[in-house]
Structure 1
Amino acid sequence: MVDEGGKRVNAIDRNELRKTIENEPLLALYLYTPLCGTCQLARRMLVIIEQLFPTLPFYETDINYIPEQAVEWQISSVPCLLLFVDGAMADKWYAFPSVTDLYEQLQARLPR
């Protein structure tokens, strides 16, 4: 994600991606492309969401660098937020209507 100062945090490259997903019991992965305006707006929402879920690790990657995984995960567009539980994809979101909506959707999917 991007903090208020514009610094990228938790960016992950394709070499680390699979290992991180397998080793984290729970994580969110944000997929974007750098020139996508909607992706930039979604990222701003996710910065807030990330603060509301301090125990959920958030990562991001440019989908252009992970074409094999994009096909495997059947990603049809960006922005896209993936939720992984115990190494398996548990959910996928393409719509980011509001911070409240995204919060409620994530809250409903997180293991208790």
Structure 2
Amino acid sequence: MNEISKEVLEQQEYLLYIYTPFCGTCHIARTMLDKIEAVHQENIFYEMNASLYPDFMQDNKIESVPCLVIKKGHDIKEKIYAFQSTGNIYRYLLEYQPELFRDKK
């Protein structure tokens, strides 16, 4: 997972994992995302420490952590707070990042 930057935040599309360092649930969610990246052998998600980006949190009405923000075409399409399972996260990836599941030759 790569740390978010101002340049990435200005992009049209990204998957952003928002956490705080002392949140136990955030660590569990991070493990799910790490497993997904390991299976695909690539960085899929960006990460953001919520404590360091209070303006982003307020401007985008992020209610709690962990949160997975899915941005497509300048709009936030989803804010996922209940990660539930790796399979649940895959459901969102199939919808918003189908290219991850195409045959790579």
TM-score bucket of the superposed structures, by smaller chain: 0.7 to 0.9
State whether structure 2 residue 26 is matched by structure 1 residue 34: no
- Alpha-carbon spacing, 1:53–1:88, altered in 2? closer, same or farther (3 Å): farther
State whether structure 2 residue 3 is matched by structure 1 residue 11: yes
Residue-pair matches, total? 99
TM-score (normalizing by structure 1): 0.75
- Give the whole-Å Cα distance in 1 for the aligned partners of 2:97 and 2:18: 19
| One-letter code aligned to 1:11 | E
TM-superposed deviation, 1:52: 5.1
TM-superposed deviation, 1:106: 2.4
- Give the whole-Å Cα distance in 1 for the aligned partners of 2:55 and 2:63: 13
TM-superposed deviation, 1:65: 0.6
1:33 and 1:62 in contact (8 A); partners too: yes
Match of 1:21 in 2: 9
1:28 and 1:56 in contact (8 A); partners too: no
State whether structure 2 residue 84 is matched by structure 1 residue 92: no
- Give the whole-Å Cα distance in 1 for the aligned partners of 2:38 and 2:18: 18
Unmatched runs of 5 consecutive residues or more in structure 1: 2-9
- Give the whole-Å Cα distance in 2 for the aligned partners of 1:74 and 1:55: 29
Unmatched runs of 5 consecutive residues or more in structure 2: 100-105
Identity of aligned residues (%): 37
| One-letter code aligned to 2:14 | L
Residue of structure 2 aligned with 1:60, choices 15, 25, 47: 47
- Give the whole-Å Cα distance in 2 for the aligned partners of 1:52 and 1:26: 22
What's the RMSD between the two structures over aligned residues? 2.2
- Give the whole-Å Cα distance in 1 for the aligned partners of 2:42 and 2:28: 23
Helix, strand or coil at the partner of 1:96 = coil
